[in-house]
Amino acid sequence: MEQKMYKTKEDKPKGNVHDTAIRGVLMNKTALAIFLNQEINFKEKITPQEIEYINTRFVTSKQKDRESDVIIKLKEHKVFIIIEHQSLIDYSMPYRTEEYTFEMLRQIVDKEKMHNKSYEYPSIITIVLYTGTRRWNAKRSIEIKDCIKDFKNKIGKHIVIDTSYYSDDELIKREGTVSKVIILDRLNKRKIIYNINEIILKIYKTLKNEEEKEIVENYIRSSLTELINNAQLDEVIKNINKEEGGENSMLRQTIIEMIEDGKREGELKGRREGRQEGNESGISQVAINMLKEKCDKKTIQKYTGLSYAKIAKLEKSLQSA
């Protein structure tokens, strides 16, 4: 029998587009099973067939502005898994975990049978999928200070999958689509556009079937809207299928357009804050991102049009920061 979690239209939280896109990938049973088996040492490997989605958005009655991303039940087991996607470190996670667990127990426990000695309570596991750039340093449980000898009590315990430990190359080599989407998510957060064509080509060469291609394409369409529009994505995919791409691809034109958009954004920002240098801030930020990614100055000049002296000045400011 399918479990129904607390949810009303009024309680529906406003998640950002990137979190929603990640959730969409996790809603593929095959992709999710592969990823969980890679990251967690289950006694037995999870298969896509035993995954049952309970609700894509579980909102507690107390915290209506917060949501868990995915809840699954393992069929034939009394095991529920909450998967919480975090792109930023949240130091309140142990509290949130405890709240989710209690709220789920309140709704799924059999109120009549629980009074029987033989009643077996369901197990609830919370997994935090963290896709930020810094190492996750929040507590993974709350330790209750003991006043009783030899008594330890921890609440809010959860598993953290910290993807910041993986390089892009390591993620590309991993099986499944979740790791590939994490790479694209990183690009999106950093607004890195200069080498996105190359990265997408690398990712597509590792995809095994049409289902995996569809998952990646859907993520790009729903999340990378600031870097690629649908028409440009269609062109990229066409080039990938033809083993083409490169200098004359439409995606390269997208890069140029994004730099111009950045320049216009900088002009607006400069006017709002009364600064004359605003008209260069957008394109300078693109150059800074490229310097952080260890691009050579010749490449940066090619894509930004900035002078060598300007790029060197930006590099010096990064080193002294």
pLDDT tens figures, 99-121: 888 888 888 888 889 999 999 89
Structure-token pair, residue 241: 């299928």
Tally the C-alpha atoms within 13 A of residue 4's C-alpha that lie toward its C-beta. Answer: 2
pLDDT of residue 45: 92
What is the pLDDT averaged over residues 62-84? 77
> What pTM was estimated for this model as a whole?
0.68
Task: Reduce the DSSP state of residue 203 to 3 states and report it.
Answer: helix
Sign of CA dihedral 313, 316, 320, 321: positive
pLDDT of residue 308: 84
Tell me which of 65-79, 143-157, 306-320 is least confident: 65-79
CA 85 to chain centre: 6
Inter-residue contact 74 to 54 (CB < 8 Å)? no
